[in-house]
Homo-oligomer: A and B are copies of this chain.
Protein backbone atom coordinates (compact mmCIF):
# COMPACT_ATOMS: atom_id res chain seq x y z
CA UNK A 1 0.00 0.00 0.00
CA UNK A 2 1.66 3.20 -1.12
CA UNK A 3 0.27 6.20 0.69
CA UNK A 4 0.72 9.86 -0.10
CA UNK A 5 1.81 12.28 2.59
CA UNK A 6 -1.74 13.62 2.79
CA UNK A 7 -3.12 10.11 3.29
CA UNK A 8 -0.57 9.41 6.01
CA UNK A 9 -1.50 12.60 7.81
CA UNK A 10 -5.17 11.62 7.72
CA UNK A 11 -4.49 8.13 9.06
CA UNK A 12 -2.39 9.52 11.87
CA UNK A 13 -5.02 12.12 12.76
CA UNK A 14 -7.77 9.51 12.80
CA UNK A 15 -5.63 7.39 15.11
CA UNK A 16 -5.11 10.34 17.40
CA UNK A 17 -8.80 11.24 17.58
CA UNK A 18 -10.12 7.71 17.84
CA UNK A 19 -10.19 7.08 21.58
CA UNK A 20 -11.15 3.47 22.11
CA UNK A 21 -13.62 2.64 19.36
CA UNK A 22 -15.62 5.84 19.13
CA UNK A 23 -15.96 6.83 15.49
CA UNK A 24 -14.22 10.03 14.45
CA UNK A 25 -16.50 12.70 13.04
CA UNK A 26 -15.94 14.53 9.80
CA UNK A 27 -15.86 17.91 11.49
CA UNK A 28 -13.41 16.87 14.20
CA UNK A 29 -11.03 15.50 11.61
CA UNK A 30 -11.33 18.63 9.48
CA UNK A 31 -10.50 20.75 12.51
CA UNK A 32 -7.54 18.57 13.51
CA UNK A 33 -6.08 18.69 10.01
CA UNK A 34 -6.89 22.34 9.47
CA UNK A 35 -8.96 21.60 6.39
CA UNK A 36 -12.64 21.61 5.41
CA UNK A 37 -15.26 18.93 6.11
CA UNK A 38 -15.87 18.50 2.37
CA UNK A 39 -12.22 17.56 1.91
CA UNK A 40 -12.47 15.03 4.71
CA UNK A 41 -15.45 13.36 3.07
CA UNK A 42 -13.49 13.07 -0.18
CA UNK A 43 -10.49 11.56 1.56
CA UNK A 44 -12.68 9.21 3.61
CA UNK A 45 -13.89 7.64 0.38
CA UNK A 46 -10.33 7.10 -0.75
CA UNK A 47 -9.13 5.63 2.52
CA UNK A 48 -12.14 3.34 2.61
CA UNK A 49 -11.28 2.19 -0.91
CA UNK A 50 -7.77 1.41 0.35
CA UNK A 51 -9.30 -0.47 3.32
CA UNK A 52 -7.56 1.66 5.90
CA UNK A 53 -10.80 2.86 7.46
CA UNK A 54 -14.38 1.76 7.96
CA UNK A 55 -16.66 4.49 6.79
CA UNK A 56 -20.35 4.80 6.01
CA UNK A 57 -21.99 8.06 5.08
CA UNK A 58 -22.99 10.07 8.13
CA UNK A 59 -21.64 7.36 10.44
CA UNK A 60 -18.11 8.58 11.09
CA UNK A 61 -14.72 6.97 10.61
CA UNK A 62 -12.80 4.22 12.39
CA UNK A 63 -9.46 2.66 11.47
CA UNK A 64 -9.34 -0.93 10.25
CA UNK A 65 -6.68 -3.24 11.69
CA UNK A 66 -4.56 -2.39 8.64
CA UNK A 67 -5.13 1.32 9.17
CA UNK A 68 -4.16 1.06 12.81
CA UNK A 69 -0.96 -0.71 11.87
CA UNK A 70 -0.14 2.03 9.38
CA UNK A 71 -0.89 4.73 11.94
CA UNK A 72 1.39 3.13 14.50
CA UNK A 73 4.25 3.06 12.02
CA UNK A 74 3.83 6.77 11.34
CA UNK A 75 3.60 7.55 15.06
CA UNK A 76 6.74 5.47 15.62
CA UNK A 77 8.68 7.41 13.04
CA UNK A 78 7.38 10.73 14.33
CA UNK A 79 8.37 10.08 17.91
CA UNK A 80 11.74 8.58 17.06
CA UNK A 81 12.67 11.64 15.02
CA UNK A 82 11.58 13.83 17.94
CA UNK A 83 13.96 11.88 20.17
CA UNK A 84 16.73 12.29 17.64
CA UNK A 85 16.25 16.02 17.40
CA UNK A 86 16.22 16.49 21.17
CA UNK A 87 18.81 13.93 22.21
CA UNK A 88 21.32 14.29 19.39
CA UNK A 89 20.78 17.73 17.88
CA UNK A 90 19.91 19.53 21.12
CA UNK A 91 16.57 20.88 19.98
CA UNK A 92 14.12 21.96 22.61
CA UNK A 93 10.89 19.97 23.08
CA UNK A 94 8.68 22.68 21.66
CA UNK A 95 10.63 22.83 18.37
CA UNK A 96 10.55 19.21 17.33
CA UNK A 97 6.94 18.43 16.52
CA UNK A 98 6.86 20.52 13.36
CA UNK A 99 10.07 18.99 12.02
CA UNK A 100 8.98 15.45 12.92
CA UNK A 101 5.75 16.16 11.06
CA UNK A 102 7.85 16.10 7.88
CA UNK A 103 10.50 13.54 8.79
CA UNK A 104 7.81 10.99 9.70
CA UNK A 105 6.94 10.65 6.00
CA UNK A 106 10.26 9.12 4.98
CA UNK A 107 9.13 5.53 4.74
CA UNK A 108 11.95 3.09 5.27
CA UNK A 109 11.73 0.34 7.84
CA UNK A 110 15.46 -0.04 7.76
CA UNK A 111 16.00 3.65 8.46
CA UNK A 112 13.40 3.63 11.22
CA UNK A 113 14.85 0.60 12.95
CA UNK A 114 18.44 1.82 12.64
CA UNK A 115 17.41 5.18 14.05
CA UNK A 116 15.65 3.50 16.96
CA UNK A 117 18.69 1.39 17.69
CA UNK A 118 20.99 4.41 17.43
CA UNK A 119 18.86 6.21 20.00
CA UNK A 120 18.94 3.22 22.33
CA UNK A 121 15.41 2.04 21.48
CA UNK A 122 13.67 4.74 23.49
CA UNK A 123 10.16 3.95 24.76
CA UNK A 124 8.94 7.52 25.25
CA UNK A 125 9.38 10.66 23.20
CA UNK A 126 10.39 14.12 24.47
CA UNK A 127 6.79 14.86 25.46
CA UNK A 128 6.37 11.66 27.44
CA UNK A 129 4.36 9.87 24.74
CA UNK A 130 5.08 6.16 24.24
CA UNK A 131 6.90 4.99 21.09
CA UNK A 132 5.52 1.91 19.31
CA UNK A 133 8.14 -0.76 18.64
CA UNK A 134 8.82 -2.26 15.20
CA UNK A 135 5.73 -4.47 15.63
CA UNK A 136 3.49 -1.60 16.65
CA UNK A 137 3.48 -2.53 20.33
CA UNK A 138 3.68 0.22 22.90
CA UNK A 139 4.84 -0.20 26.48
CA UNK A 140 1.80 0.22 28.68
CA UNK A 141 2.42 3.61 30.24
CA UNK A 142 2.87 3.52 34.01
CA UNK A 143 -0.17 4.92 35.78
CA UNK A 144 -0.17 8.70 35.73
CA UNK A 145 -2.63 11.48 36.52
CA UNK A 146 -2.87 15.10 35.60
CA UNK A 147 -1.29 17.39 38.15
CA UNK A 148 -4.61 19.00 39.07
CA UNK A 149 -5.97 15.62 40.19
CA UNK A 150 -2.88 14.25 41.90
CA UNK A 151 -3.29 13.45 45.57
CA UNK A 152 0.22 12.28 46.47
CA UNK A 153 2.42 15.11 47.63
CA UNK A 154 5.77 14.27 46.04
CA UNK A 155 5.49 13.81 42.30
CA UNK A 156 7.54 13.44 39.13
CA UNK A 157 6.53 14.87 35.73
CA UNK A 158 5.99 12.07 33.18
CA UNK A 159 4.30 13.70 30.20
CA UNK A 160 2.59 16.77 28.77
CA UNK A 161 -0.78 16.40 27.09
CA UNK A 162 -1.13 19.81 25.43
CA UNK A 163 1.97 20.05 23.27
CA UNK A 164 1.48 23.55 21.96
CA UNK A 165 4.58 25.68 21.65
CA UNK A 166 2.96 28.11 24.08
CA UNK A 167 2.64 25.62 26.93
CA UNK A 168 6.01 23.99 26.32
CA UNK A 169 7.73 27.36 26.28
CA UNK A 170 5.95 28.30 29.51
CA UNK A 171 7.18 25.09 31.16
CA UNK A 172 10.70 25.81 29.93
CA UNK A 173 10.53 29.24 31.51
CA UNK A 174 9.49 27.73 34.82
CA UNK A 175 12.09 24.95 34.68
CA UNK A 176 9.50 22.19 34.43
CA UNK A 177 10.47 19.27 32.18
CA UNK A 178 10.06 15.49 32.01
CA UNK A 179 11.52 13.95 35.13
CA UNK A 180 11.22 17.12 37.17
CA UNK A 181 10.32 16.35 40.77
CA UNK A 182 7.95 18.59 42.63
CA UNK A 183 5.76 18.84 45.69
CA UNK A 184 2.28 20.24 45.91
CA UNK A 185 2.29 23.03 48.45
CA UNK A 186 -1.29 24.22 48.15
CA UNK A 187 -4.49 24.13 46.16
CA UNK A 188 -6.30 27.44 45.88
CA UNK A 189 -9.97 26.89 45.65
CA UNK A 190 -10.71 30.33 44.18
CA UNK A 191 -9.39 29.51 40.67
CA UNK A 192 -8.13 25.96 41.23
CA UNK A 193 -4.55 27.17 40.84
CA UNK A 194 -1.84 25.03 42.43
CA UNK A 195 1.28 26.07 44.25
CA UNK A 196 4.21 23.76 43.65
CA UNK A 197 7.78 23.59 44.88
CA UNK A 198 10.74 22.19 43.01
CA UNK A 199 14.16 21.59 44.50
CA UNK A 200 16.52 24.55 44.55
CA UNK A 201 13.82 27.01 43.51
CA UNK A 202 11.20 29.18 45.15
CA UNK A 203 7.68 27.80 44.97
CA UNK A 204 5.41 28.97 42.18
CA UNK A 205 1.73 28.94 41.43
CA UNK A 206 0.37 27.59 38.18
CA UNK A 207 -3.08 27.89 36.70
CA UNK A 208 -5.58 25.06 36.56
CA UNK A 209 -5.19 25.02 32.77
CA UNK A 210 -1.48 24.36 33.04
CA UNK A 211 -1.95 21.77 35.80
CA UNK A 212 -4.48 19.84 33.72
CA UNK A 213 -1.88 19.35 31.00
CA UNK A 214 0.97 18.12 33.15
CA UNK A 215 0.95 14.39 33.82
CA UNK A 216 2.60 13.17 36.99
CA UNK A 217 3.14 10.06 39.05
CA UNK A 218 4.09 9.64 42.72
CA UNK A 219 7.85 9.63 43.08
* A contact set with B: CB distance below 8 Å: 85, 88-91, 95, 99, 102-103, 105-106, 108, 110-111, 114-115, 118
Contacts and interface: CB of A to CB of B under 8 A. Distances in A.
Contact of A89 (B91, B103, B115): B115
17 contacts: A85-B111, A88-B118, A89-B111, A89-B114, A89-B115, A89-B118, A90-B114, A91-B110, A91-B114, A95-B110, A99-B106, A99-B108, A99-B111, A102-B105, A102-B106, A103-B103, A103-B106
A54 to B, nearest CB: 31
- For this chain, the copies found in one complex come to 2
Contacts of A102: 105-106
A118 B102 CA distance: 20
Nearest to A96: B111
Given A89-B114, A89-B118, A103-B103, 11 more contacts: A85-B111, A88-B118, A89-B111, A89-B115, A90-B114, A91-B110, A91-B114, A99-B106, A99-B111, A102-B105, A102-B106
Which of A85, A90, A111, A118 lies at the interface centre, i.e. has the most chain B CB atoms within 10 A of its CB?
A: A111
A85 to B, nearest CB: 8
A179 B103 CA distance: 32
